[in-house]
């Protein structure tokens, strides 16, 4: 099979997975029963009145990524540059999650005027766990060693390969992709650190249930980060093998690589879907409760980005959605990382 | 038992006081041992969704009571019990106030003793 055929196969697989995701997201507003709309307890008759329209609008917004995907994909197929499908998939992954988060937040805000009266009252008492959490508590030493070893071996191999005949090898070609993949791994470690450190109060009435749901969710996202790191490390390890392969064996090597990719992608997708279902069951045991807003965040966060040093949370919940608080130390680090990613792209000119 | 810091909107105490008292309780119960690090002011404010100055005031109160040591640049740690320099009289004052309140409320001495014993068993270090 040709590389292009594998990419098309992967794109078809991506579509199949998305259809399942669409159904899952479509059911999400009603997952707690007809008295709820996402995490908002609604008045009786909500779904036959205003709620019907809000729900339909939410469902329609789920199709936005498809509206972007279909014309772009047609353009790519017509142009014949099928490698661009990889970038389309990467872009759509981001778009789907951003669109979903925004749609849920918007739908919940639209449903607030129809919330049951008791939902308006915030919980009187809230609790915050002070139990120390460290990144190493959530790390598997064997996995960490394996990833570190894969990176070191691959780079050592590449250095040796390049130094063997520096005049015949392009530095950017030899090290470009591995450096990019290493940078992605560093980004994933940063995300892991944020996920481990992230704390928010829970209602004291159901503190144990909320803490359990959060711990399970935390472990799930950390595992996803590790999966991504493993994929990037495998990519780095494969690069010198590909570089050193003879033209005759390269085609077979690439085929084996893509088949392995597909098998792993199917296995991970199944694992993610099973884990999601388990997480939903855990989350359903903890009833969503409005917590007191001591900072009057809706007045502080009027724009998507704000600077509030006295309220050092990363995200403030404003009246019109979330606002990124630049006063939080993580915001400039994240911005620096993204700037570094753009600079790296420019430096390596990946895609040219 | 989990290491929870609680804030109650129905509690008449100001929030900084609730936080300071909550940390004191964790220290008394041995959940926060001597030398244990406390979350930095900025982080705790972000986690609780509370103004930075509220947490700073709570930490200052704990420092004033000799329960924590604030090290600029490296965070705050729970102080050694021997570093508490408050006099016996100073320590007894809040107990006397609370006992006076109970006596004025008409609670009998035996009931007060039972209440004190029960509260002490909840507050004192586990296993002691």
Residues A238-252: tens digit of each pLDDT: 999 988 888 888 888
The pLDDT confidence band at residue B127, using thresholds 50, 70 and 90, is very low
A51 Cβ neighbours under 8 A, 6+ residues apart:
A37, A42, A111, A114
Q: Is B15 on the interface with A (CB under 8 A)?
A: yes
Task: Please state, for a pLDDT cut of 70, what percent of chain B lies above it.
Answer: 90
pLDDT digits (tens, 9 = 90+) for A299-318: 888 888 889 888 888 988 88
Chain A residues within 8 A of B32 when measuring between CB atoms: 130
pLDDT value of position A20 = 86
Whether B76 and B103 share a structural domain = no
Of residues B40, B88, B90, the one with CA closest to residue B64: B90
Is some CB atom of chain B closer than 8 A to the CB atom of A313? yes
Determine the residue among B7, B19, B56, B57 to mutate to test chain A binding: the one whose Cβ has the most chain A Cβ atoms within 10 Å. Answer: B7
Q: Is residue B100 part of a domain?
A: yes
* Residue B8 located in a structural domain: no
B28 and B73 together in one domain: yes
pLDDT tens profile A133-155: 889 999 999 999 999 999 999 99
Q: Please calculate the CA angle A33-A37-A42 and round it to the nearest 5 degrees.
A: 90
- Dihedral pair phi/psi, residue B51, rounded to 5°: -60, 140
Residue A25 has pLDDT above 70, yes or no: yes
Report yes or no on B2 lying in a domain: no
Cα dihedral A236, A240, A241, A246 in deg (nearest 10) = 150
Interface test with B, best of A121, A124, A125, A128 (most B CBs within 10 A): A128
Give phi and psi for A42, each to the nearest 5: -105, 160
One domain for residues B115 and B67: no
**Domain for residue B61, yes or no?**
yes
Given A211, A310, A329, which is nearest B53 (Cβ)? A310
> A314: nearest CA in chain B?
B46
B7 occurs within a structural domain? no
pLDDT of A210 strictly over 90: yes
B70 is in which domain, residue-wise? 15-83
- The CATH number given to whatever domain includes residue B56 is 1.10.10.10
- Contacts of A105 by beta carbon, 8 Å cutoff, 6+ apart: A321, A322
Domain count, chain B: 2
**Same domain? B108 vs B51:** no
Q: Is residue B112 part of a domain?
A: yes
For residue A316, the cross-strand partners are: A323
Distance CA B27, CA B37 (A): 12
CA A344 – CA A184 distance, rounded (Å): 11
In a domain, B25, yes or no: yes
B67 and B105, same domain (yes or no)? no
Higher pLDDT, A157 or B2: A157
Query: Is A314 in Cβ contact with B46 (below 8 Å)?
Result: yes
Phi, psi torsion values for A343, nearest 5 degrees:
-60, -40
Q: Are A176 and A155 in contact, with CB atoms under 8 Å apart?
A: no
pLDDT at A351: 52
- pLDDT tens, A46-78? 999 899 999 999 999 999 999 999 999 999 999
Q: Which of A199, A289, A312, A327 to mutate to test the interface with B (most CBs of B within 10 A)?
A: A312
Measure A45 CA to nearest chain B CA, in Å.
32
Name every chain B residue with its beta carbon within 8 A of the beta carbon of A309: 52
- Residue B102 domain flag: yes
């Amino acid at each position: 099979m040709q590389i292009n055929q594998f990419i098309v196969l992967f794109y078809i697989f991506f579509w199949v997975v998305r259809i399942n995701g669409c159904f899952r997201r479509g059911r999400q507003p009603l997952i707690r029963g007809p008295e709820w709309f996402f995490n908002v307890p609604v008045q009786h008759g909500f779904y036959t009145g205003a709620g019907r329209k809000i729900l339909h609008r939410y469902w329609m917004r789920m199709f936005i990524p498809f509206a972007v995907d279909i014309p772009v994909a047609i353009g790519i197929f017509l142009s014949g540059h099928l490698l661009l499908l990889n970038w389309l998939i990467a872009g759509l992954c981001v778009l789907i999650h951003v669109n979903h988060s925004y749609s849920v937040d918007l739908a919940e805000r639209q449903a607030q005027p129809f919330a049951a009266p008791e939902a308006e009252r915030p919980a009187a008492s809230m609790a915050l766990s002070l139990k120390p959490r460290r990144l190493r508590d959530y790390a598997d030493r064997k996995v960490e060693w394996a990833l570190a070893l894969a990176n070191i071996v691959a780079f050592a191999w590449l250095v040796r390969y390049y130094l063997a005949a520096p005049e015949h090898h392009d530095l950017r070609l030899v090290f470009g992709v591995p450096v990019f993949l290493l940078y992605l791994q560093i980004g994933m470690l940063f995300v892991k650190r944020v996920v481990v450190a992230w704390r928010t109060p829970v209602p004291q009435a159901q503190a144990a249930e909320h803490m359990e749901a959060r711990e399970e969710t935390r472990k799930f996202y950390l595992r996803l980060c590790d999966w991504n790191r493993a994929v990037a490390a495998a990519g780095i390890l494969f690069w010198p093998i590909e570089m050193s392969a003879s033209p005759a064996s390269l085609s077979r090597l690439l085929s084996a690589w893509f088949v392995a990719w597909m098998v792993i992608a199917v296995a991970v997708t199944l694992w993610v879907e099973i884990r999601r279902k388990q997480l939903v069951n855990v989350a359903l045991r903890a009833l969503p409760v409005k917590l007191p807003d001591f900072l009057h965040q809706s007045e502080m966060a009027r724009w998507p980005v704000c600077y509030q040093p006295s309220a050092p949370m990363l995200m403030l919940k404003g009246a019109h959605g979330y606002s990124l608080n630049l006063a939080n130390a993580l915001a400039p680090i994240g911005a620096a990382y993204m700037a570094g990613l753009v600079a790296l792209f420019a430096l390596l000119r990946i895609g040219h | 038992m989990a290491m929870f810091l609680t804030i109650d909107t129905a509690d008449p105490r100001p929030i900084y006081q609730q936080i300071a008292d909550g940390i004191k309780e964790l220290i008394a119960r041995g959940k926060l041992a001597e030398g244990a690090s406390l979350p930095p002011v900025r982080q705790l404010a972000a986690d609780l969704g509370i103004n930075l100055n509220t947490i700073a005031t709570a930490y200052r109160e704990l420092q004033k009571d000799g329960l924590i040591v604030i090290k600029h640049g490296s965070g705050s740690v729970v102080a050694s019990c021997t570093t508490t320099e408050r006099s016996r009289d100073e320590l007894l004052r809040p107990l006397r106030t609370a006992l006076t309140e109970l006596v004025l409320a008409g609670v009998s001495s035996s009931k007060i003793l039972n209440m004190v014993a029960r509260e002490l068993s909840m507050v004192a270090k586990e296993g002691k």
